Amino acid sequence: MSNDRPRLSLIVLGPPGAGKGTQAKRIARARGIPAISTGEILRDAVGNGTPIGLRAKAVMDRGELVGDDVMIEIVAERLRRSDAAAGFVLDGFPRTVAQATALDAMMSGGALVVIDIVVPEAELIRRLGSRLICADCGATAGGFEQDGPAGDPTKCHKCGGRLVQRSDDNEAVVRERLKVYERQTAPLVEYYRVRPTFRSVDGAQPADRVAADLAAAIEAASAAGSARGGERR
């Protein structure tokens, strides 16, 4: 599918509960390019015992957050793989302006399309409060990201395990997570907003409507980036 389309290098921004992970995977499937979740590649690096993964593990074992330098190196390593040559969709990176600047340097002159999925706080709290995960495999179900199953709604659609609420999805914790997200990402959104390849999409809609708006925003942003030869700082 990606052979007859120009390269797409896409960042999907949005707060917890915006559905960005679901939409990122949907776009990636449609384009035939990888959806790269920083949570997943961090776990892979740690699990595989790569040099950068061992550095990340040492940080996490101390109860500290993985810093920009480690995350930048992990993402750079992932983007060098052959399956990302035709493009990629990034979910969870960048989270800071320092990471965004490093990503620009990785792009070697190519244009980045940046889509911010915007959802009101009250809707995010509702969604996150109804979100469930599988106690066995950790897959997300319920709320906005429910994919199934057609059968028992108390069972995981992937492995059949029992669905439970995440411990950090109670309202007080959710509100704090949203405040942290806003503090951390407001400068990042402003960093990208001035670019012709930046778009915002209303995420407080049914998933199919959001997907349609995302597709339109990607096409418009890609065309704007091509017209200007790629936006560089």
Distance CA 92, CA 90 (A): 6
Is the Cβ–Cβ distance between 228 and 196 less than 8 Å? yes
Give CA–CA dist 194/190, Å, rounded. 7
Q: Which of 197, 187, 195 is nearest to 226 (CA)?
A: 197
Q: Which two tokens stand for residue 133?
A: 């995960």
Check if the beta carbon of residue 154 is closer than 8 Å to that of residue 162. Answer: yes
Q: What six digits make up the tokens of 218? A: 């990607």
3-state secondary structure of 2: helix
Could you tell me which of 12, 32, 30, 3 has the C-alpha nearest to residue 217?
12
Residue 82's CB is within 10 A of a number of other CB atoms, namely 6
Q: What is the set of active-site residues?
A: 20, 95, 131, 166, 177
Q: Could you tell me which of 199, 202, 148, 167 has the C-alpha nearest to residue 19? A: 202
- Do the Cβ atoms of 164 and 154 come closer than 8 Å? no
